Amino acid sequence: MTVKKLTAAEQQKLAVDFCGLSFTTPLVLLSGCVGFGEEYTRISGFSNRATGAVCLKGTTLEPRLGNAPHRIAETPGGMLNAIGLQNPGVDHVINTILPELDFSETRFIANVSGSTIEEYTEVTRRFDESPIDAIEINISCPNVREGGVTFGNDPDMSARVVAACRAVTDKPLITKLSPNQTDIADNARRCIEAGTDAFAVINTLMGMAIDINTRTPVIGNNQGGLSGPAIKPVALLRTHQVHQVCRAHDIPIIGQGGITTAQDAIEFLIAGAAAVGIGTALFYDPLICDTINRGLLDYLALQQLDSVSDLTGSLQLHGNANSPCGCD
């Protein structure tokens, strides 16, 4: 497949500033969907240049083997995963993987994970001394027994992790928020006070699939993270809610969850995202970023807008809304 190269004028319309980093497009490849940034480059027609940034796979202090199989299950409108942060450890990532990445193609964002605040801090400190462009703090992974979503659902713990990581790096910090919490806006507020520079909204929703023949969960971990189009309405609402907190502080958001088309991406931008994450859709169409970029340009031309950033936070709410729960 031949991909039409973007012109300089088109690149200017798609470019966004994210925490002082120049993204060539608002598209960010999400952690866990593209390995450590080089896997999809083996596919004919694919280029990291179609993206503004690539989030590397979740990385811990020591190597981890991950969860027992099965780790993935397809569901209506999405998929469940419970990989369990399988990774070779931060030293291997920094010493072996990062030198092989082409930093002229796109920005690369490390994804820091851990079981304790001390582990988050040490992994962040080591990435601070690497060429990585920014650091995403994964305090919302539902597929590990310690840390992860345990921290992400507690505003106090979330703030403590962010503050600890902030103390050891000057690189942009992006906090990945869990949708599996009571008040995501309050958590965002606490993380801003603790020093986060940006947010990724949202991580996966907790879910389960059951094998009716064995009457056991399909996933070896019993539960996993649900991603894909099925979670898009939840992700849009959470992005809007977090934006209400962020806009007064000029804190940008990577909106993510079920984006498969340019229209999906535009909805997230309107809801308050400065950039949008592409994840599960890559499994169905590895070249989807080029399609979405073209769709964004078509929409900008139709709306007579000069920049994709003009869409961020442009949502106009209805004034006659009633109960937020949608009840009769």
Query: What are the tokens at 42?
Result: 């083996």
State the pLDDT at residue 324. 64
State the pLDDT at residue 124. 98
Q: How many residues does the chain have?
A: 328
Q: Tell me: the pLDDT tens digits for 246-293?
A: 999 999 999 999 999 999 999 999 999 999 999 999 999 999 999 999
| Torsion angle defined by CA atoms of residues 251, 252, 254 and 255, in that order, rounded to the nearest 10 degrees | 90
State the pLDDT at residue 70. 97
Higher model confidence: residue 325 or residue 36?
36
- Reported confidence tier of residue 298, pLDDT bands at 50, 70, 90: very high
State the pLDDT at residue 142. 46
Indicate whether 3 pLDDT > 90.
Answer: no
Q: Cα(265)–Cα(88) distance, rounded to whole angstroms?
A: 32
Look-up of token digits 């990945």: 176
Domain ranges of the chain: 8-311
Count of CA atoms in the C-beta half-sphere (13 A) of 191 = 35
Instruction: Express as a percent the part of the chain with pLDDT over 70.
Output: 94
State the pLDDT at residue 153. 81
State the pLDDT at residue 320. 78
- Reported confidence tier of residue 143, pLDDT bands at 50, 70, 90: very low
Q: Cα(121)–Cα(194) distance, rounded to whole angstroms?
A: 14
Q: Tell me: the pLDDT tens digits for 78-126?
A: 999 999 999 999 999 999 999 999 999 999 999 999 999 999 999 999 9
State the pLDDT at residue 152. 72
Q: Cα(159)–Cα(172) distance, rounded to whole angstroms?
A: 16
State the pLDDT at residue 182. 87
Q: Tell me: the pLDDT tens digits for 198-208?
A: 999 999 999 99
Indicate whether 165 pLDDT > 70.
Answer: yes
Q: How far is CA 300 from the centre of its chain?
A: 24
State the pLDDT at residue 135. 98
Q: Tell me: the pLDDT tens digits for 208-225?
A: 999 999 999 999 999 999
State the pLDDT at residue 44. 93
Q: Cα(37)–Cα(20) distance, rounded to whole angstroms?
A: 22
Which residues participate in catalysis according to the annotation? 141
The CATH code belonging to domain 8-311 is: 3.20.20.70
Instruction: Express as a percent the part of the chain with pLDDT over 90.
Output: 88
Look-up of token digits 């990291």: 48
Contact 66, 85 (CB under 8 A): yes
Sequence-ordered alpha helix ranges (H) in 34-154: 90-92, 117-128, 149-152
* pLDDT-wise least confident of 21-25, 32-36, 137-141: 137-141
End-to-end CA gap in the chain: 50
What is the average pLDDT value for the chain, to the nearest integer? 93
